[in-house]
Chains A and B, each alone.
Chain A
């Protein structure tokens, strides 16, 4: 229910608009340029060239060694599945242990849980209060049975950027393969897969203002995995099925724009983010930041308010035209609060009181100031109603 005309979208993490330039690039491939790259005639070759160009553009964003290291998929979820199951199936004779962290996306957690029903073993490395992976535990958990370590580059929920370089060093000392889920990070912050020693990396188009339904998996030259989808042998046999040419072309353009304009958006968003965090954290007592204050994605502001519940904050904001996400149980299908928030050491009731803003290229300082101005009345109203709010807090608020 929205009672105000103006909508302020602060839920870009859930979905982004497709850049106009990306749409313009895609349109012909839905219409006149409808060829299949497997066809030998000119229209097929046109599609094949477009596919190659997009692969080139996407590979340049992450400084991959060459275009062919990129496999296009349908989503980051598929890329994570392909990386994890594909590596496990390929290497099951070498070892059965897969290590990950306690703050991963469900498309990493659930493939690993599935593999544990097929004879693989898993280990979930804990994080500190900021959500940073505990490198000592990672080192201890790595053994000669470990075939794969899969870690998030930066957390989409709490924004924390992980020490991938250090992780990579530890993983390579034990000759395991490193897969990185860079879905929330790619296109926003610089990533150099060669410098970082990344073996496989997941990312997707919509997170960089490309279309939904297109993902990518970077596979380092020489690294072999098994496919999930068998068929006509597209994408080097790793992902059969006619290529989604319009989507892939859009991904290519989005990656090119993201690379060219990265510094501009990074600086603008970081400024907005820091003002937003400062504004929210300085105005009301019992307000806390989730995630790391500085090692943080430029678009993420995740905070928690004691004594109130996330969904009621979300609804209150929506009544004022502001769209956000919440880590509370009520905002999820499982009725459990976010496992990421719990992994950072929050109690259930603290996790329930979390709210997540994600900024986008179109976010403006006026929007941020408007929301900062809105929060006290929303939080005070809910705290007034809450049986958990201590009396002295109410007195402070008045």
Chain B
């Protein structure tokens, strides 16, 4: 059902866990649907210096989470925002069609974490002003 690369990322996922003092946190999905993930990012000089995830879900959900963190690490925020679900699936040598929508949420979680970072930045700037 899954490509070897999906299985490798499911078996040995990279960047699992949480960042307690994260600069941005994004959660997407819902346990009712069977997939939910949270992305934590640490930002330094406008780049993603560290990234971790927590995922409840199927093999595809865990593998896309792992792959997305690998793809985003070291990228500028602008570059990371351009990572799409399709890019993640391509990097994993494809996903079963049925999984493209329900379990391929990691890019969305990454974008949500970056937006959360921007929002926090804005808030702290406003406080300073």
Contacts and interface: CB of A to CB of B under 8 A. Distances in A.
Interface stretch (B7-15, B42-50, B86-94, B117-125): B7-15
Interface size class of B (residues with CB under 8 A): 20 to 34
B102 interface: yes
B55 A335 contact: no
Interface in A284-334: 307-312, 315, 319, 328-330, 333
A352 interface: yes
A365 B11 CA distance: 28
Contacts of A352: 31, 34
A329 B56 contact: no
Given A311-B58, A315-B10, A329-B34, A385 B16 contact: yes
B74 interface: no
B56 A308 contact: yes
B16 A384 contact: yes
B98 interface: yes
A335 B57 contact: no
A335 B98 contact: yes
A337 B34 contact: yes
B127 interface: no
Interface string A330-367: 10010101000000000111001000000000000000
B34 A385 contact: no
A312 B54 contact: no
B61 to A, nearest CB: 8
B33 A348 contact: yes
Contacts of A385: 13, 16, 54-56, 62
A230 B36 CA distance: 51
Contact of B2 (A1, A329, A348): A1
B38 A312 contact: no
A382 to B, nearest CB: 8
Nearest to A385: B16
Interface of B is mostly: mixed
Nearest to A347: B32
A182 to B, nearest CB: 32
Give the most central of B2, B27, B54: most A CB within 10 Å: B54
A376 to B, nearest CB: 18
Nearest to B96: A330
A387 interface: yes
Give the most central of B31, B33, B37, B38: most A CB within 10 Å: B31
B15 to A, nearest CB: 11
A1 B36 CA distance: 24
A348 B4 contact: no
Given A1-B4, A315-B10, A335-B98, A387 B54 contact: yes
Interface size class of A (residues with CB under 8 A): 20 to 34
A309 B58 contact: yes
Give the most central of B7, B10, B59, B62: most A CB within 10 Å: B59
A1 B61 CA distance: 17
A1 B56 contact: no
A386 B56 contact: yes
A337 B2 CA distance: 20
B55 A348 contact: no
Contacts of A347: 32
Given A307-B56, A328-B58, A385-B55, A1 B32 contact: no
A386 B36 CA distance: 8
A13 B28 CA distance: 35
A396 interface: no
Contacts of A312: 10, 57-59, 61-62
Given A319-B11, A348-B32, A349-B31, A387 B37 contact: yes
A310 B103 CA distance: 13
Contacts of A328: 34, 58
Nearest to B103: A330
A264 interface: no
A388 interface: yes
Contacts of B103: 330
A330 B31 CA distance: 12
Interface of A: 1, 307-312, 315, 319, 328-330, 333, 335, 337, 347-349, 352, 384-388
Given A309-B56, A312-B57, 6 more contacts: A312-B59, A315-B7, A319-B11, A329-B102, A348-B32, A385-B62
5 contacts: A309-B35, A309-B61, A312-B58, A315-B7, A348-B34
